[in-house]
Structure 1
């Protein structure tokens, strides 16, 4: 059964690669395919409403841990973002999941995504090991079957990372503001992805389509004109997301700038594609506190009643 599943997942991967690369002769065809996936692969922050015992912080902690696992095994950023999408869509399809099941669901999502995205995915024994005994190999295999069925084998979403890469590629192809090396460096790329990493930990990021989320992140590094040209979105379509993201941008700027890391056996030209991890939970807490403070003027304190007013 395991071999059969692996073959089926590989077929999904080849189909995904074909969709990604076969249409570059027709940019309109590629665009239509990506937009159709945005409509097909639905996500929503309401997924947690279906699970009364869960809290948004639990999701944040799980995704933060998955980033750490990805960095430990030098897995690609797309592997993490596929796992994040699988997790959120699976939770949207379920009800009353208990918190002691979250780690199993998360590591299984990563198990599936790594078999799609990685040439040498980590072995199931390694993923069971990093769970520190919380997830057994047999449990991961069983959960894999459950998740694949719940996801209806729809394993090829356009993640937020897919969209940001597309925007960068379009900008480079059309040279809309000379967005070519060295102006757009690996360092700038990982700064954008660090911002996205931070944002995706917040359950409210699921209010937005991935394409909009990527465009909003891009707008904090490029001009509004460039963003509108490469995304095909009008400013009104991304303005709400840009404003929501502002505290996250401010916090990332307060920390040390993201830098290209060296990974043994990873070519220098591919290092920016490896998922990294920093103290995201601390950053997330600060960003969310800033968001709350920005809302305070909208909700002034209730004035005292007449009986409480000084004479």
Structure 2
């Protein structure tokens, strides 16, 4: 029978998150425990009391009044269903638009968004518009990928920002690979492909609500890590087809497990509509993405979000020691996520 050390060494050899290289092995990891997928058993009375407390708290701020919350999040649920992308939405493009090319492009767009000081919402909208365009377009040229990304960002900026970057700014960040006319023409094409319908739901919107209803127990680090996970999920093709509410819930659940080793509270299950069992696959995929960015063979390549979340504004969460301490657990979950992703293709 293999010893625990031999089993861990075998696991290190087996895991290969990146396409072109092995994942960095975990050295001297001990007492690796897997995440348990068990729901909380708290009583209905406690949940009812907590719901009343939240409703009372919400009423103090008209933005969170019961009627507004129900209408807003009901509409967001409708949008995430109506604007879904397929798990294989890039397949028909062949080598002209691959998951790896998309990952590189999104990483670059995170850098551009930081340079322009765009809102997080603008970045999420950018990726949503780009993915919908790629799904609906029959054929693109490989050289157009960056142009599509910039046109999507310009469209998202006009929709979300008070002051959006100028056209010349976009030409500059593309190193003049495209003209102003190229970008304007592509913007119109993207707008047409999405049927001039720019309303989409994204994970940050759901994350804010989920963390608010559990604000008495959610640690600031858990919230910061959840935001980080939602952003790096943008790069991962395997997560692009998941509903934003599911990604948000999975990000919060994984963060709770990593930071405080806490539970998925009844109030979180009630508000998100997802049980711990529902979150298993998306959480494993998020662990795969996090492991790749933090510890993978090419972790120095996809650094935009990691650098962004190393700032004090984001509690330096991407450099927090907790991620190193939980590296072995992340690797176990990442392997499960990789296996699940391969089974969907």
TM-score, normalised with respect to structure 2:
0.64
Aligned to 1:233: 274
Q: Distance in 1 between matches of 2:170 and 2:83?
A: 26
Aligned to 2:238: 204
Out of 80, 86, 91, which is 1:38 matched to? 80
Aligned to 1:48: 90
Q: What CA deviation, in whole Å up to 9, does each residue of 1:237-264 have, x standing for no partner?
A: 22221222233344566698975637xx
Shift of 1:83: 0.1
Change (3 A) 1:292 1:101: farther
Aligned to 1:307: none
Change (3 A) 1:244 1:203: same
CA RMSD of aligned residues (A): 3.3
Q: Distance in 1 between matches of 2:185 and 2:243?
A: 31
Q: Distance in 2 between matches of 1:27 and 1:292?
A: 35
Change (3 A) 1:252 1:58: closer
Out of 156, 159, 162, which is 1:119 matched to? 162
TM-score, normalised with respect to structure 1:
0.70
Q: What CA deviation, in whole Å up to 9, does each residue of 1:84-130 have, x standing for no partner?
A: 00000110101121210001000010001111111121111001100
User: Is the aligned partner of 1:261 residue 2:305?
Assistant: no
Count how many residue pairs are aligned between Structure 1 and Structure 2. Answer: 250
Q: What CA deviation, in whole Å up to 9, does each residue of 1:10-38 have, x standing for no partner?
A: xxxxxxxxxx9597534332332121111
Aligned to 2:105: 62
Q: Secondary structure at the match of 2:176?
A: coil
User: Is the aligned partner of 1:79 residue 2:122?
Assistant: yes
Shift of 1:78: 0.8
Gaps of 5+ in 2: 1-61, 257-262, 300-305, 319-329
Q: Secondary structure at the match of 1:25?
A: helix
Q: Distance in 1 between matches of 2:244 and 2:337?
A: 26
Q: Secondary structure at the match of 1:207?
A: coil
Q: Distance in 2 between matches of 1:34 and 1:76?
A: 19
User: Is the aligned partner of 1:170 residue 2:213?
Assistant: yes
Q: Secondary structure at the match of 1:237?
A: coil
Aligned to 1:97: 140
Q: Distance in 2 between matches of 1:229 and 1:130?
A: 44
Alignment of 1:16-27 (within 5 A): 24-27=66-69
8 A contact 1:23–1:30 mirrored in 2: no
Q: Secondary structure at the match of 1:154?
A: coil
Q: What CA deviation, in whole Å up to 9, does each residue of 1:146-205 have, x standing for no partner?
A: 111110111121111212122123333xxxxx14xxx643x5433222222222211100
Aligned to 2:49: none
Q: What CA deviation, in whole Å up to 9, does each residue of 1:204-247 have, x standing for no partner?
A: 00231111111101101232225313312233322221222233
Gaps of 5+ in 1: 1-19, 173-177, 263-270, 277-285, 300-311
Aligned to 2:36: none
8 A contact 2:210–2:272 mirrored in 1: yes
Q: Secondary structure at the match of 2:164?
A: coil
Change (3 A) 1:257 1:136: closer
Q: Distance in 2 between matches of 1:93 and 1:129?
A: 28
